[in-house]
Amino acid sequence: MMSLLSRSVLMPIAIAIAVAVLQFGCSQNESAPARPHFELEASSLELQKYLDENPDLLKDADARLLQPVLDLGKRNLNWLVKINGARDAAHRISLSSKETTRAYPIEKPRESNTDIVLKSYQDLQQTMPREMAEVVFGTGELPNDITLNETEYIRWGNEVDHVYQAATRWLTMKPYLDELKRERKSDVRGYYLLSLESDLESKLNDWKNLKPDEQTKFQDQLLGVCGNSEDRAKCKTEFATLLSRQGSVKDFWLKYKSASQTLYESFFKIQWFRTDIVWSGAQPGGAELASIPVIDPNNAAIASYLKDNVEDEWKWLNWELKLVFQSGDPTSMTHLLFQPGVTAHVEVPNKIVMDENQPTSEYDSQWTIRHEFGHILGFPDCYVEFYDEDRARMVNYQLDTTNLMCSRRGVLQQKHFDEMKRVYSRAQ
């Protein structure tokens, strides 16, 4: 996640449409509170903290309906704390891991509103093993340990936490539904799905002979493509008029394809470049290096945390990114700052802020520093969240769940290296 500040050491290279993609959680109305920006896989503790700090959100009618879910989620996390409090460090349980992280692929987005969350809550009541349900749905004193096996406990603990996350995220975002309606322009599913369709233009040319369900599918996707650059109501009117006049559906696709494609591709492109990265080219032995100065944290553990994670992630084949620790001015050099209770983020161009309360040994922390450093290098987040007014629900998804900048399941990919080389391997 990024926050937009001065770009004094950055040179813009982004196309204009990318600015619309990267809202950085900032409100379009400076007098109104900024919409909070949480990654799609933000922990329930982050969301719970935000609700605790904004108690007015819990006065909403939906909050009253969702109170049993909120109580369940807190009790689940409190039990985990009590379990770990009775164990030594080597045997403590974590619900945070790459394997248990919930991904939201573009083909199967997460949708939520109060009714959806309550249905998930009811499903949990019916399917959870009895020995766990009696604890998390109960009201008595929490036990010091678990009776079911650890794998099953982690599975169901994550199921509870997933429902809790959905409830807290809905309540957090509900005040910003008008703003999130506008974010629907960033919904690139139409372009993505149509680009995967074999022989698409021939099918669109033969529109009248397509089966009704195919027509419905393509129409929805084409309206999404048009909606990336035009008002959706205008798109619907234009498409209906085209069909009534037996016009060319293929031409409708070709008319709006380019803008939609540019938007989609912008999620994977560096949006600006730094002037302090040195691309050294091939070294003896064939390795190719890039380096970036980072203010020395003067703490061996934190320095190792940075190098072990960033340098381990940001390498590809015979290319490596190296952190060069040195003294310097925080206003002009990359640096890491820990603050208690914050949501991890980057304040462009140079500051990475991490939660001091989260152990650096946790998977979430280690993935986050790798991801946030991607923002320091100029990469945007590649996930989408908006409110679908037609269906009265929040929709969010990750464009590629294997991509480091999209998902906590993601890693560095060839496209990251190619983009780094395109931008930074210029004459030094």
Q: What is the 3-state secondary structure (H, E, C) of 366-396?
A: HHHHHHHHHHHCCCCCCEEEEEECCCCEEEE
Integer-rounded Cα radius of gyration of the chain = 24
Torsion of CA 277, 14, 37, 39, to 10 degrees: -70
**What are residue 326's DSSP bridge partners?**
295
Is residue 339 helix, strand or coil?
A: strand
Classify residue 354 by burial, with Cβ atoms within 10 Å: 0-12, 13-18, 19+: buried
Q: Residue 417: phi, psi to the nearest 5?
A: -65, -45
Non-local CB neighbours of 1 within 8 Å, separated by 6+ positions: 24, 25, 37, 38, 39, 343, 344, 345, 346, 372, 375, 381
What integer pLDDT is reported at residue 422 of this predicted model? Answer: 94
Sequence ranges of the domains in the chain:
44-179, 189-266
Q: What is the DSSP letter of 334?
A: B
Q: How far apart are CA 359 and CA 158, in angstroms?
A: 19
Residues (pLDDT < 70) of the chain are 1-32, 281-284, 427-428
Non-local CB neighbours of 72 within 8 Å, separated by 6+ positions: 121, 124, 136, 137, 160, 163, 164
* Nearest of 368, 293, 283, 294 to residue 319 by alpha carbon: 283
Q: Residue 62: phi, psi to the nearest 5?
A: -65, -35
Q: How many CB atoms lie within 10 A of CB 181?
A: 14
Q: Which amino acid is at 352?
A: I
Q: How far apart are CA 181 and CA 384, in angstroms?
A: 12
Is residue 280 helix, strand or coil?
A: strand
Q: How far apart are CA 47 and CA 113, in angstroms?
A: 16
Q: Which amino acid is at 389?
A: E
* Nearest of 165, 136, 178 to residue 50 by alpha carbon: 165
What integer pLDDT is reported at residue 341 of this predicted model? Answer: 85
Question: Are 190 and 260 contacting, i.e. CB atoms less than 8 angstroms apart?
Answer: yes
pTM, full prediction: 0.88
Q: How far apart are CA 62 and CA 391, in angstroms?
A: 17
* HSE toward the beta carbon, residue 182, CA cutoff 13 A: 9
What integer pLDDT is reported at residue 13 of this predicted model? Answer: 39
Q: Which amino acid is at 100?
A: T
Non-local CB neighbours of 353 within 8 Å, separated by 6+ positions: 337, 338, 339, 342, 344, 345, 346, 347
Non-local CB neighbours of 81 within 8 Å, separated by 6+ positions: none
Q: How far apart are CA 150 and CA 131, in angstroms?
A: 13
Is residue 98 helix, strand or coil?
A: coil
Torsion of CA 215, 220, 223, 225, to 10 degrees: -100
Question: Are 1 and 39 contacting, i.e. CB atoms less than 8 angstroms apart?
Answer: yes
**Region class of 278: left (phi > 0), else alpha (psi between -120 and 50), else beta:** beta
